[in-house]
Chain A
Amino acid sequence: MATETEALQHSGRFRLKAIKGRAFEAILIVATLVGLVALVMLFGFMFFDAVSPGSASAEWYLLFFGTLVGPVSAFTLYGRRHPAVRSANARASAAVFGGLALSLSTFVVLKAMSPYGPLVYLITVGSLPLAVAAYGRYTGSSYFVGPAMVLATLLAIVWTLGSEVLLVPLLDATFELGNQLLGGVPVLGSVPVPVDRGLLVFAIAVGLPTLAVANSVLRRQLSLDRLLVVVAVLLLSAAGTSGLDQLLRPYLEPLPLWAAYGGVVGPPVIGLLGLVVTRRRGLRSGLVAAAAAVGGALAVAVGALTISVNPRLLVVLALGMGVPTAYVVGETVTTDPDGRVGVAGPFIIVGGILLGAYIEQSLSVAGPDTWVTPTLLVESWDGLFPTEAGAYPSTVGSIMIVGLMALMAFPVGVGAAIYLEEYAPDSGWRGRLASVIELNIANLAGVPSVVYGLLGLALFQNFLDYGPGLVFSASATLGFLILPIVIVSAQEALKAVPDSLREASYGMGASRWQTVRSVVLPEAVPGILTGTILALGRAIGETAPLIVIAVATATSSAPDGLFSTGAALPLRLFAASANFDPAYRTGVVAALAIVLLVLMLTMNAIAIIIRNKYQE
């Protein structure tokens, strides 16, 4: 053995080579470590300053090890050996923590905006497509329902916002552009717009949808019910042009506040629950489940009222967190005997934290002297007392901006990806167009974010004449920014769907859209979701474009609507980092940075978990 190695390494040249190889490998390892060390330093320094773990007493560590770390690790180890338990745990955790995060986000946004506005949106945007579906069922033909519902939803959004917000600025901008372009022509440039602007807006906003519906409904057959539909569209668009929001709001305002909160959160949650249960168990169970959810929320409200606690947060939590948790726990306990234990997972975590906090309070154990406190998220900024400083308005602003951005960018991005992957041919002018679009998307992904800020500035402030730094402009600007990311990741997800499924569907006589909707999209959802979450994580931390479109860096009140001045967490971090008082500089600001980092890491982790779960 020894002689053999010697024989192979006998010459000095070989030994030199081996040393060279080893040195090279060491250099490579160091290079890899540089990135990792940088990451650890980044987290480590901020974490130590924000949390100062050294200031906690040994008892505190023991206490939380006993109530939280110990039980959770034991449970995780147990779950590692029982896959059913692990997956039940994952489902329950998703319901509890996802529900909690969504409920709290919704609550703070509703609180900032007052829930009546969103309630109007929900009613109009929800009822219009439903009316189309009902009409489809009444006439007995379902062919037009899909497209009509899409159009009705879009119209409802425009109508609810009212013409003041979207149509008038757009029209003004177009006129101005026309004047500028025609300005060089002496005659045309001086021609005034023939009619009153308001009248023109009204004519366009009412006329277009009415004519479109009349054209498609009355062209082939004239009957009373078809005429009625046209009249209904006419009336609705007339009402919508003046803004359904203002029309409906007075009727909703007598509702107690908590009912309005429940009215916004309830219908989507309960509708989804009813649909899911109906799918699995039949219509009767679905109705029972929905009724139980309504009853539960009402019971919570009544209970809170009788002990004179304001029930609005409780109602939102009951609907947003309670309902999904109850569904997942109930479903798992009844149908999955192997994984039944797993639903305890999230409760062990929550219970551990609560128990630990209670003992900490009652025995007055010295915890860490941390800057990451509830104050940071529920209070407004305070420039004099660092312990009172919080970023509540910025947090609400971030939630609003990123939420609205997701609503706008997600459908468009997925739609573009579907077109490029499923519809666009490889050849012909359409194929060339598609490859131009793909190249363009690749280039858009490389455009610096600050340039998107200039686009938002020019589009919303200069062209549409909006005020500086509105929530809506910020959302749209960030939406442009993440659109390429959403499209590319959705394309990857669609590419991963095997062609055999598409062939099977086409072979069954499904059309392209039917194939996309019922076979390709459901398969691609996890992949699309992964990419979307990563894009949201990117958008939350994005700062430069918001500065350029003049979103206020330091605000003391949360935005109260989509068209009011925005605020964002990273902007607060930016503004506060200039403060030289160490309590802010390496205290509150470090805590804000840690919050942002943890937020981003959580989103990345969720995305990775989803990807791993569905890649098998």
Chain B
Amino acid sequence: MSQEDETELSSLKRSEFVLRKERLYRQLLAGCALLTIAITAGIILALSGQALVFFESVSPIDFLTGQDWSPLSNEPSFGILPLVSGTLIVVVGSAVVALPVGLGAAIYLSEYANPRVRAIVKPVLEILAGIPTVVYGYFALVYLTPILRDGFSLPVLPEFIANALPLVSEFTLVVPGLFPEVNTFNALSASIVVGVMIIPMVSSISEDALSAVPDSLREAAYGLGSTKFDVSTKVVVPAATSGIVSSYVLALSRAIGETMIVVMAAGESPKIPTVPNIFDNFTASIETMTVAMVNIAQAESLGESVTYESMFAIGLTLFALTLTMNYIAELISRRYREEY
């Protein structure tokens, strides 16, 4: 009996080697997960390390309150306000495009569209988020700006059909230019395109929030004789507010960090916005924080100069800004997850 017990026990014991192997695998996998922490630490170290060097030559107060940004001139000046306001212009412009459109699309997809329409429209909208930003930038610069300035005309039919039927050749779609005063590089087309890019972020996260509203709420409202319009606007949307707001914050944080579209279409002339005539800010060329970074990166043979380090200082500002916004969005969306 006791003999048997011992053999049983030994077969139930952990094999040292197997245990070590399992531990090794676990550690390898945990190492992969910890790498993400290392990346964050690396970002913070890289940005703050160089930014600290920068702040030795330029005081943080001058940096944050200075109204002149000219890092590449002979007497460089590092005031970030023109860049922040440039970013703000793009964010406001893209918000005007994306927030209502994204929310409208979200409500339509969640409340009105039948499943077949939704199954097609949703992935198609999401393509917008996957298009390379350099293509967006090219589109804004080469197509959208001229359209905004001069309008466009489009032959409706291919040439050979138009030639065969002389009467039809008149069928040309003509749209007049709406903003004749826009610059070659301008904030308007950049903002519009950034707005289009972030539409799917707003629409898909908001739609998730709207769909998460329990059907019982809708049924209760219908039972009281509400129309679909009432249910959507007075029950579902208010119930999903925190999800919608969190999608807004996330999308705007994406707009803040957007680089290529602005680099290619919005130009590089840092300026403080003109106050009385707000729209002038959009038709003129501006410079955002991201553009300033790219410009410095592209300027060759800077070495370890103050200008080079200022890039990291802007990067740190940008990182802090987007991190805060993402964290706020996370907090808000956590609240709406708790609600149901």
Residues of A within 8 A of B (CB): 17-18, 20-21, 24-25, 27-32, 34-36, 38-39, 41-42, 45-46, 53-58, 143-144, 146-147, 150, 411-413, 415-416, 418-420, 423-424, 434, 436-437, 439-444, 446-455, 457-459, 462, 480, 483-484, 487, 511-513, 534, 537-538, 540-544, 547-550, 553, 570, 573-574, 577, 585-586, 589-590, 593, 596-597, 600-601, 604, 608
Contact across chains for A45 and B25 when beta carbons are under 8 A apart: no
Q: Give complex CA distance A144, B25 in Å.
A: 11
Q: Which residue of A lies closest to B258 (CB)?
A: A448
Q: A32-B121, A36-B124, A455-B46 are in contact. List 4 more A-B contacts (CB 8 A).
A: A446-B325, A448-B257, A454-B315, A459-B42
Q: Which residue of A lies closest to B260 (CB)?
A: A543
Known: A31-B105, A412-B32, A573-B134. A55 touches B159 (CB 8 A): yes
Q: Which residue of B lies closest to A14 (CB)?
A: B227
Q: Give complex CA distance A36, B105 in Å.
A: 10
Q: Give complex CA distance A544, B294 in Å.
A: 7
Contact across chains for A419 and B33 when beta carbons are under 8 A apart: yes
Q: Give complex CA distance A522, B315 in Å.
A: 41
Contact across chains for A483 and B297 when beta carbons are under 8 A apart: no
Q: Is B26 an interface residue (CB 8 A)?
A: yes
Known: A544-B133, A577-B138, A604-B127. A58 touches B160 (CB 8 A): yes
Contact across chains for A573 and B138 when beta carbons are under 8 A apart: yes
**Binding site of A, secondary structure by majority: helix, strand, loop or mixed?**
helix
The 8 closest A-B pairs by CB, nearest first: A541-B132, A448-B257, A31-B104, A458-B46, A415-B32, A28-B108, A544-B259, A21-B229
Chain A hits for B294, CB < 8 A = 450, 544, 547-548
Q: Is B176 an interface residue (CB 8 A)?
A: no
Chain A hits for B264, CB < 8 A = 574, 577
Q: Is B218 an interface residue (CB 8 A)?
A: no
Q: Give complex CA distance A146, B24 in Å.
A: 10
The residues in B between 129 and 153 inclusive whose CB is less than 8 angstroms from any CB of A are 130-139, 141-143
Contact residue among A25, A35, A420, A483 (Cβ-Cβ distance under 8 Å from B101): A35
Q: Give complex CA distance A597, B135 in Å.
A: 8
Number of residues of chain B lying within 8 A (CB) of chain A? 98
Q: Is B322 an interface residue (CB 8 A)?
A: yes
Contact across chains for B30 and A35 when beta carbons are under 8 A apart: no
Chain A hits for B232, CB < 8 A = 24
Q: Could you name 28 residue pairs across A and B whose Cβ atoms are closer than 8 Å? A: A31-B104, A34-B196, A35-B196, A35-B200, A38-B199, A42-B131, A46-B135, A54-B160, A143-B21, A415-B32, A416-B33, A416-B35, A419-B33, A440-B36, A448-B256, A448-B259, A451-B319, A453-B293, A454-B311, A458-B50, A458-B312, A483-B36, A484-B36, A512-B26, A543-B132, A543-B134, A548-B293, A608-B123
Q: Give complex CA distance A39, B40 in Å.
A: 34
Chain B hits for A412, CB < 8 A = 32, 35
Residues of B within 8 A of A (CB): 15, 17-18, 21-22, 24-26, 28-37, 39-40, 42-43, 45-47, 49-50, 100-105, 107-109, 112-113, 121, 123-125, 127-128, 130-139, 141-143, 155, 158-161, 164, 196, 199-200, 203, 227-229, 232-233, 250, 253-254, 256-260, 263-264, 290, 293-294, 297-298, 311-312, 315, 318-319, 322-323, 325-327, 330
Contact residue among B134, B158, B203 (Cβ-Cβ distance under 8 Å from A541): B134
Known: A42-B131, A416-B32, A541-B134. A423 touches B142 (CB 8 A): no
